[in-house]
Chains A and B, each alone.
Chain A
Amino acid sequence: MVDVEFRRDRIIIRYKGKKWDWILEPRYWRNTFIWTAVLIIVPIIFYFFYPALLNTLISANLYAAIAIPLALMTLGTGRINFGPNFFIGVGGYTAALLSVAYKWGPLLTFPLAILLTVVSALIFSPLVIIARGLYYVLLTLLLPLVFLEITFIYSDTFKGDVGLAGIKLLVDTGDVKLNFLLIAYISLFLMLLYLLIVNKTIKSRYGLIMAAINDDEEVAHGIGVNINLVKIISFVSAAAMIGVIGWFYAHYFGTFAGITYLPLTFLVKILLVIFIGGRAQVFGCVAGGYFIAFLEMILIGTLGDIQPFIFPLILFILLFALPEGLFGLYRKRRYREYLPTLHVRR
């Protein structure tokens, strides 16, 4: 006989001498599994009841998928990169140019998009060694802006003002609604994969080394950490992950324009996914990504013309109203976990 007992903080199920506890108190929940299940179910629900929202789901997943490696990069280099969208540009343009010129599909452009992102990250990786905190912030901030300028200079190639069109689509079943559902799942898979990789990395011994660099580079060097190597690996690997999102954008929309991803407005959105999500905590990036994508969608639907300045205004208020971000509200209950504080060094 199954015996179910309801307590204040948990439900206990007993059966033939065995006992299962289902903890109700939020701090003991296995949140990762519950939320993953929710994220997997939501696209199906939207597919049948609110298909227009699938696009927002995809945006949310992609915002989170950019912010998660950016959090890793921040941790591993001990510096906040203010130009992650540069790598979106590299990945996206590589995929777009190859697809337009040679009619290559997403599977063929994928390795080259990663390769070129890695090469460009390696070229700029000395920045993590030579440029100190604030210098690094400014130099990385300039990278996407200069890239944007290049897309306008070589407008014949990059179509800087209107973007490259005619890129082969990521999924083409002939049914638009189904396409969106499949892309929503692919973006979700990508985001969850990044979450898994980054979370495992941060919790590994390598993550501890990265945290040491983030806390104090000199001390980390003093205890025998090859800080330059760790910083370059963190920078390049995270850049490659961000470049994949550029590839995704190109094949998802079938068009790619630098003016969409390289200006400050897109960059600020990504930074806010991190800060409003929860100060670069990887799980916070997911909360931040969904929050910002849905907020933007609601404001576009309701405010019309005034949305472009009301949206940043709300984010501006939230930046200061939620100093520890959305994930910080949850973290208050799990204060025992060690999570390194991210900061811009002077």
Chain B
Amino acid sequence: MGEVLQVVIVYMLILGSIYLLIALGFSIICGVLRIFHLGYAYLFTLTVYLTWMFMKELGLGLVPSILGMIGLQFLISYFIYAGIIKRYLEREEIILTGLLLFSIIVEQLVNYKYPIQAGVYLNTTILEGSLEIGPAVISKQLLLASGIAVLLTFLFVLFFLKTKIGLAIRAISQDIYSSRIVGINVEALYTFTMFLVLVPVIVGTLLVAPVWAIDPTMGSMYLTTAILVSILGGLGNIKGTIMASYLIGVTHSIVSFIIGEPRFMNLSALILVMIILMVRPQGMAKSEALW
């Protein structure tokens, strides 16, 4: 039992950190723009497939391809913000459906161009092999990904707490009208936030790409995780997101290693979310502000 417990704890930390990386961007958009980015799934898909496209179609190396992908991702994010979110901020059902549709368009386009048989693979492995931590055997790449996730989250928190821009973004997340009164350029910061969320998504996807499955529908799986974490943590609250990521991490670990049914991971997380929502309808965080 002691050994199983060790495995659960190790995987809780690793899965929780990676879930944090996946959900951080989604949560920040929820907290700042006060919308659910249901098109969030396409960010993961594009990260992998745009890089692959640059490598295969233009014959570029991995690093230039990643840079090209980042440039295109920024451009697409800008158009998504300016074309959909900014124009329909008060009509949420249109935003939600529009973003979902956009995500489906990207998924289908990718599936048309690079179906699963195309064998897309990104060799973004930094550390090869696996490591034994007590009874648990962990891929070094996943270990690195979880370490970077914690570091990146720490940097994000520092950014929001210690910089003027971070302060302004937190002000927007608390009260948009008051923020405008004190002279904060809300539009510019919205755009900036759209760009900011790309960082954890791109870093996370590139780090886990060599270890986890890649296919045109991969974004839906990440979106599901991001949604669960975001609801559980409380809309857009980073503290809540951190707590929720590890809570879902421990749930998945327990289901996988103690109950022995890894197939029930998402179902168990959903049940957990529902139970917690019954007790705390606003999620685990105390407020819906960013911090």
* A and B assemble together: yes
Report A's interface with B, CB cutoff 8 A.
80, 82, 126-127, 130-132, 134-135, 137-139, 141-142, 145-146, 149-150, 153, 263-265, 267-268, 271-272, 275, 305-306, 308-309, 312-313, 315-316, 319-320, 323, 342-344, 346
CA distance A139 to B179 in the complex (A): 31
A-B contact pairs, 28 of them (CB 8 A): A80-B93, A130-B277, A131-B281, A132-B281, A134-B36, A135-B235, A135-B277, A137-B96, A138-B227, A139-B231, A142-B224, A145-B220, A146-B266, A149-B267, A263-B220, A264-B103, A268-B101, A268-B104, A275-B94, A305-B112, A309-B109, A312-B104, A316-B98, A319-B97, A319-B101, A323-B94, A343-B92, A346-B92
Q: Contact check, B93 vs A342: say whether CB atoms are below 8 A apart.
A: yes
* B127 touches A (CB below 8 Å): no
CA distance A182 to B64 in the complex (A): 60
* B207 touches A (CB below 8 Å): no
Q: Contact check, B101 vs A315: say whether CB atoms are below 8 A apart.
A: yes
* A80, A130, A142, A306 pick with most chain B CB within 10 angstroms: A142
Query: Nearest Cβ distance between residue A256 and chain B, in whole angstroms?
Result: 21
Query: Nearest Cβ distance between residue A339 and chain B, in whole angstroms?
Result: 15
Q: Contact check, B105 vs A312: say whether CB atoms are below 8 A apart.
A: yes
Query: Nearest Cβ distance between residue A335 and chain B, in whole angstroms?
Result: 19
Chain B residue total in the interface (Cβ 8 A) = 41
* B111 touches A (CB below 8 Å): yes
Question: Which of chain A's residues have a CB closer than 8 A to the CB of B104?
Answer: 264-265, 268, 312
Question: Which of chain A's residues have a CB closer than 8 A to the CB of B278?
Answer: 126, 130
Q: Contact check, A271 vs B97: say whether CB atoms are below 8 A apart.
A: yes
List 6 additional A-B contacts (Cβ < 8 Å) besides A309-B108, A323-B94: A127-B274, A134-B36, A135-B281, A135-B283, A138-B230, A309-B105
Complex interface bits, B269-285 against A, C-beta within 8 A gives 1, otherwise 0: 01001100110010100
Report the number of A-B residue pairs with Cβ-Cβ less than 8 Å: 102
Q: Contact check, B93 vs A275: say whether CB atoms are below 8 A apart.
A: yes
Query: Do A268 and B91 form a contact, CB below 8 Å, given A150-B267, A309-B112, A316-B102?
Result: no
Q: Contact check, B108 vs A312: say whether CB atoms are below 8 A apart.
A: yes
Q: Contact check, B266 vs A149: say whether CB atoms are below 8 A apart.
A: yes
CA distance A173 to B2 in the complex (A): 65
* B264 touches A (CB below 8 Å): yes
Q: Contact check, B224 vs A145: say whether CB atoms are below 8 A apart.
A: yes
Partner of B281, one of A130, A153, A263, A275: A130
Report B's interface with A, CB cutoff 8 A.
34, 36, 38, 84, 87-88, 91-94, 96-98, 100-105, 108-109, 111-112, 220, 224, 227-228, 230-231, 235, 263-264, 266-267, 270, 273-274, 277-278, 281, 283
* B94, B102, B283 pick with most chain A CB within 10 angstroms: B94
CA distance A344 to B93 in the complex (A): 6
Q: Contact check, B101 vs A312: say whether CB atoms are below 8 A apart.
A: yes
Query: Nearest Cβ distance between residue A308 and chain B, in whole angstroms?
Result: 4
Task: State the majority secondary structure of interface residues on A.
Answer: helix
Q: Contact check, B112 vs A308: say whether CB atoms are below 8 A apart.
A: yes
Question: Which of chain A's residues have a CB closer than 8 A to the CB of B109?
Answer: 309
Q: Contact check, B264 vs A153: say whether CB atoms are below 8 A apart.
A: yes
CA distance A239 to B173 in the complex (A): 36
Q: Contact check, A308 vs B111: say whether CB atoms are below 8 A apart.
A: yes
Measured CB to CB, the nearest residue on chain B to A344 is B92
Query: Do A308 and B93 form a contact, CB below 8 Å, given A146-B266, A153-B264?
Result: no
Question: Which of chain A's residues have a CB closer than 8 A to the CB of B92?
Answer: 134, 343-344, 346
CA distance A263 to B104 in the complex (A): 11
CA distance A149 to B263 in the complex (A): 8
Query: Do A146 and B267 form a contact, CB below 8 Å, given A135-B281, A138-B227, A141-B227?
Result: yes
Q: Contact check, B281 vs A316: say whether CB atoms are below 8 A apart.
A: no
Query: Do A138 and B231 form a contact, CB below 8 Å, given A132-B281, A309-B108?
Result: yes
Query: Nearest Cβ distance between residue A153 and chain B, in whole angstroms?
Result: 4
CA distance A323 to B270 in the complex (A): 34
Question: Which of chain B's residues have a CB closer than 8 A to the CB of A135?
Answer: 231, 235, 277, 281, 283
